[in-house]
Amino acid sequence: MLPRRLALAGLPALIAAPLRAEPARDGFRRRWAEFRDRFLAPEGRVVDTGNGGISHSEGQGWAMLCAARADDRAAFERLYAWTMRVLKRPADELFAWRFRPEAGVDDPNNATDGDIFIAWALLEAGDRWGRPEWQAQGAAMARDILQRLVRPAGDHLLLLPGLRGFERPGQIVVNPSYYAFPALRALALAAPDPAWFQLVVDGLSLLRRGRFGRWRLPPDWLAWTRGEGRLAPAQGWPARFSYDAVRVPLYLAWAGLTEEPGVTGPARFWQEHAPRMLPAWTDLSNNQLSPYPASRGTAAIAQLSRESAGLSGLSRAARSAPLHGEDYYSSVLVLLVDLAALDRGMS
């Protein structure tokens, strides 16, 4: 367990200093334009083509950040207008997580990672285009995230995945991939509070301890036992390192925390299987591998993780290829890897 007094290498800077966003380069702008043209509906919602055509706050937040970085103000304003009109919750600064074309918003619960990325995107867009009201909204969201979505668990702080449904008798369920460390830095700067530092330290402790299976990998969903602080893959979801958990090494590497086991463990896992088929997931209870390969988006995270861990070079040629044939989620992961590589000076 991470001692409270311990200052990890680079951790004070993670909260105290802004991550300097590198200007988008032509390759990223081209891939963003392709993503926009394929997945952004005219009304401003991002269509999840691999999930029944739904839209969700996570996709809106990711796309808003990418539009801001690509200096695509028209797309950003379309995204923002639809997100505010359809997903904004009336009683707080958070957003409903899911919209179905045939039913509208059918679940008003929020998704914390969606809120985190929407807030980050508003802060960047407000700074880029001189819109202080967007920055003020991003800061207000940051305060609501800290006040409403962070829970004490013993002497730790945990980040709830949403307002409802994750606090169980005897357990709190968390999603390790919601600890988006570069975004948390931006929110901490916009709404300063010492609790951000503790949330980051405790999040790193959680990711260090919450690893399972032969390759010691984080699960998509993780349960914290109240009182004991024992960690286990959460019941109700497959015990897999899969579509959610692949974002753990992405966000750690993006934040420069490249020596964390949340980067080095997945990097070794992917390095071991890279000569053959890169698996889409592994079952952490029996080490079974998926019978089908990972998407290009997961492969891009694998490349970023392996370079960050010093295991291989990043294939810029592979990342610069068009996104033709990839679904929404794979495509947006490629864009996020692009941004991480730009911010870390790796491209």
- Determine the Cα–Cα distance for residues 327 and 141; give it in Å rounded to an integer: 30
**Out of 48, 72, 113, 124, which one is annotated catalytic?**
113
- For residue 82, tell me if it sits in a domain: yes
Listed as ranges, residues in the chain with pLDDT below 50 are: 1-10, 314, 317-318
- For residue 246, tell me if it sits in a domain: yes
Number of domains in the chain: 1
- For residue 180, tell me if it sits in a domain: yes
Instruction: Indicate if 113 belongs to the active site.
Output: yes
- For residue 256, tell me if it sits in a domain: yes
Domain at 211, CATH number:
1.50.10.10
pTM of the model: 0.93
Residue 321 confidence (pLDDT): 59
Instruction: Indicate if 58 belongs to the active site.
Output: yes
**Out of 48, 58, 115, 220, which one is annotated catalytic?**
58
Adjacent-strand bridge partners of 240: 283
- For residue 313, tell me if it sits in a domain: yes
- For residue 209, tell me if it sits in a domain: yes
The domain of 330 spans 19-343
Residue 21 confidence (pLDDT): 59
- For residue 14, tell me if it sits in a domain: no
Are residues 282 and 211 in contact, defined by beta-carbon separation less than 8 angstroms?
no
Residue 335 confidence (pLDDT): 97
- For residue 97, tell me if it sits in a domain: yes
Residue 17 confidence (pLDDT): 52
Q: What is the DSSP string of 112-168?
A: HHHHHHHHHHHHHHHHHHT-HHHHHHHHHHHHHHHHHSEEEETTEEEE-SSSSS-EE
